[in-house]
Amino acid sequence: MIRLLGKNLDELKALVAEEGLPSYTAKQIARWLYVRKVRSIEEMTDLSKQARAALMQKYEVGLTDYSHIQISSDGTKKYLFPVKCSHSKDLNAACGADAAMPLEEGAIEAVMIPDQDRATLCVSSQSGCKMGCRFCMTGRQGFHGNLSAADIISQIIAVDESDRLTNAVFMGMGEPLDNYENVIRAIEILTADWGFAWSPKRITVSTIGVLPNLKRFLDESKCHLAVSLHNPFPDERLEIMPVQKAWNIADVLALIRKYDFTGQRRVSFEYTMFAGFNDTKVHADALARMLKNLECRVNLIRFHKIPDFPYETSPDIVIENFKKRMNNSGITTTVRASRGEDILAACGMLAGEHKAKGSK
Ligand code: SF4
């Protein structure tokens, strides 16, 4: 069966033409998929019985439902989804991931973070990841495959909070810009008037700096950008982020500076605080110099210890002083509240480890 979910309006138009159905049927199907969020073609009741029967010969909605939920004491919810991944060789990241802790094939996670009147879904874009960042549980597991646009959109539709989500952040498992075509397709569906009709301001894509696709993303979307920076010194950044070898952060910043972030679109930099590694005054000053005159924000993140990584999180007082020093240098800097740590849902902790343990 071919999945309807994940198709854009042009593809739906081609599909209905092929089936000999009126062209307006494409918009009706898009509405059922992305506004009414139905789970079967049978539920598309403004399509004739014959049209539905014809479609059901070949197609299905194709929603992937979650198989497990964990709820944190702070209200954060982690959803586990079974997925079938396709390996893609579209980019060779040259990032030798350590496959010593393999993820169970096809398990991905999405995390819903409630915050007063907001509900943000942290979405996964790949099963595992090939970028091999040393401080990240997903990176430890190696790469199992790209998620299809249908599997990305499924996360947004299947969670219990789907109708009250205010934001989506591509900060879950995987490097979104290493699965560019599917991520940009999902963004198209989320922002198009025939789709979810979200403003691009509700979406943030986080990357470690996959340079060629970063340019495409900046040209082709209006969504916010978050860049994982973590160290202003190239040799030290390389120690924890193999991507630095392929795409230097200086080149990433040079590209970002060519775009306008003074309007609606924002760029932020993620900086995880490792005690004694990247949290000194020298680092703060180098970071401030690096970002000088760029309209941006820095988010400092407490590190959640993972096995076999030598650094601990910086003490709160060090993080606070780092923040002050950055703000005094004119770079807006905040400390990100840690959420869902007790259910391993915080930044860098997603590992798909509760696969098939139970049902929702
Ligand atoms: Fe991949 Fe992101 Fe983890 Fe790096 S931090 S290994 S890019 S999931």
How far apart CA 85 and CA 236 sit, in angstroms, is 33
CATH number of 2-60: 1.10.150.530
Q: At 325, which helix (H) or strand (E)?
A: helix 316-328
Domain ranges of the chain: 2-60, 68-343
Residue type, 39: R
Positive or negative, the Cα torsion across 114, 120, 126, 130?
A: negative
Residue 104 has a pLDDT of: 42
* Residue 109 bears catalytic tag: yes
Beta carbons within 8 Å of 64's beta carbon, 6+ residues apart: 81, 82, 83, 150, 151, 154, 158
How far apart CA 236 and CA 309 sit, in angstroms, is 15
**Each residue's pLDDT tens digit in the chain (360 positions)?**
999 999 999 999 999 999 999 999 999 999 999 999 999 999 999 999 999 999 999 999 999 999 999 999 999 999 999 987 655 443 333 333 333 334 345 689 999 999 999 999 999 999 999 999 999 988 888 899 999 999 999 999 999 999 999 999 999 999 999 999 999 999 999 999 999 999 999 999 999 999 999 999 999 999 999 999 999 999 999 999 999 999 999 999 999 999 999 999 999 999 999 999 999 999 999 999 999 999 999 999 999 888 889 999 999 999 999 999 999 999 999 999 888 777 777 667 777 654 433 333
Residue 24 has a pLDDT of: 95
How far apart CA 45 and CA 113 sit, in angstroms, is 34
Of the candidates 214, 112, 215, the one whose C-alpha atom is nearest the C-alpha of residue 168 is 112
Question: Is the CATH number 3.40.50.1370 carried by domain 68-343?
Answer: no
Q: Whose CA is nearest to atom 7 of ligand 1?
A: 175
Token pair in block for residue 52: 């539905």
Q: How far is CA 267 from CA 6, 256, 260, in A?
A: 27, 9, 10
* Residue 270 bears catalytic tag: no
Residue 62 has a pLDDT of: 96
Q: How far is CA 100 from CA 19, 63, 97, 138, 142, in A?
A: 48, 31, 9, 11, 8
125 Cα–ligand 1 center, Å: 11
Three-class secondary structure of residue 248 per DSSP: coil
How far apart CA 95 and CA 186 sit, in angstroms, is 26
246 Cα–ligand 1 center, Å: 15
Ligand 1 is surrounded, with C-beta below 6 A, by 129, 131-133, 136, 138-139, 173-175, 208
Mutation to probe ligand 1, out of 103, 183, 208 (largest number of atoms < 8 A from CB): 208
Residue 358 has a pLDDT of: 33
**Pair 140, 101: CB distance under 8 Å:** yes
Find the length of the chain: 360
Residue 230 has a pLDDT of: 98
134 Cα–ligand 1 center, Å: 9
Q: Whose CA is nearest to atom 4 of ligand 1?
A: 133
Residue type, 92: N
Q: Name the catalytic one among 95, 109, 175, 270.
A: 109
- For the entire predicted model, the pTM comes to 0.91
173 Cα–ligand 1 center, Å: 7
What does DSSP say about strands 118-122 and 107-115: parallel, antiparallel, or unpaired?
A: antiparallel
Q: Whose CA is nearest to atom 8 of ligand 1?
A: 174
Residue 41 has a pLDDT of: 98
